[in-house]
Amino acid sequence: MSIKQGRIDVHHHIIPPAFVEAMDARGLHKVAGAPLPAWTPEKSIEVMDMNGIERAITSLSAPGVHFGDGVRQAGELAQRCNEFAAQMRSRYPSRFGNFAVLPMPFTEAACSEAVYALDVLKAEGIVLLGSTDGVFLGDPRFDELMAELDRRRTVVLVHPNMHQSSENIGLQTPGFLIEFLCDTTRAAVNLILGGAMERYPGIRWILAHSGGFLPFVAWRVSLANALPEFQQHAPQGVMTYIRRFYYDTALSPSRYSMAALKELVEPSHILFGSDFPFAPAPATALQCQTLDGSDLWLPSIQHGINRGHALSLFPQFRKADEVVTPAPIYQGESFAQRLRRSLTRPVGALAERLRKR
């Protein structure tokens, strides 16, 4: 069931004129070391057509809309970007959806813009940066916003930003290569251990770039189950919350990344993402080819990653005669494989015994 058309891209960026103006006014021409691409909606559609992407749910990338000038500037820029995205979707109704950007870290203004974007502009969801001004998602100051998003069962894409620790680390490596992944991982862990995942279960979280480093360090993070200070915040066990996240494939379609996700989460929580235009046209094509050429997945799951799994979050994009059924989970798995997977569940009791030795 190799897909030729119909992909749903949950990680696809827009670069609105208002955002370009804000960057230019501050002499900024790169995002985490990557040059700001020249972009138009038509360029997105061209790349989408070349790679079987039927629809892209667009979002603004880092650094978001806050440039240090205060809440008014961030709020006005967020609204301009969101209205641009809504107008683009209206112009191409069969090709785009959008995640609205919020003026973080200003909670009251972010709540106001979320209500406007979701209720008036009818955005498909919200994009939040892993951190803004050094403050990570999961911080209690964002509880009012989390409650607003929870009430609406909002789909939230978590996109990385450059944290001040990454800015000051002194490496010559462009931030998008490694430091972006740190930001996503830190945010995800903070959402779990700070209790936001438990308090606001209605939010459906998508982690960019296959969750950064989270799949690789999941077992290690789950040792927090043994620490009393986290048991109230994550009473269901860390791995439960890690498996609750959705993970997009943007710039992470390799066998190594996909094998880790296959062991960690249900395939229904893996979604296609391209990262266009920061991943330029050749890189987008390579990602699609890598996913299509993988032998890790049954055809039904391959189709789910490309399209079907996204429809569980965005049922409004189903075709009139389209029936989406859950892909079989671990079909053909042996008893030994099931046993090995079961051992990745929360290991708090074991860790607690080891800690007390």
Instruction: Quote the CA–CA distance of 284 and 250 in Å, as a whole number.
Output: 9
* 333 Cβ contact partners less than 8 Å away, ≥ 6 residues apart: 341
pLDDT at residue 174 in the model: 86
- How many residues does this entry show for the chain? 357
pLDDT at residue 264 in the model: 97
pLDDT at residue 150 in the model: 98
The one-letter code for the residue type at 12 is: H
Domain residue spans of the chain: 7-355
Mean pLDDT, consecutive 10-residue stretches, the chain (357 aa), reads 72 98 94 91 97 97 94 98 98 97 98 98 98 96 98 98 86 87 97 98 98 97 96 96 98 95 97 97 96 93 95 94 55 44 40 38
* 168 Cβ contact partners less than 8 Å away, ≥ 6 residues apart: none
pLDDT at residue 177 in the model: 87
CATH code assigned to 7-355:
3.20.20.140
pLDDT at residue 346 in the model: 40
Q: Residues 38-44: contacts with CB within 8 Å, 24+ apart?
A: 39/13, 39/14, 39/15, 39/277, 41/14, 41/88, 41/91, 41/92, 41/96, 43/277, 44/12, 44/14, 44/96, 44/276, 44/277
pLDDT at residue 325 in the model: 54
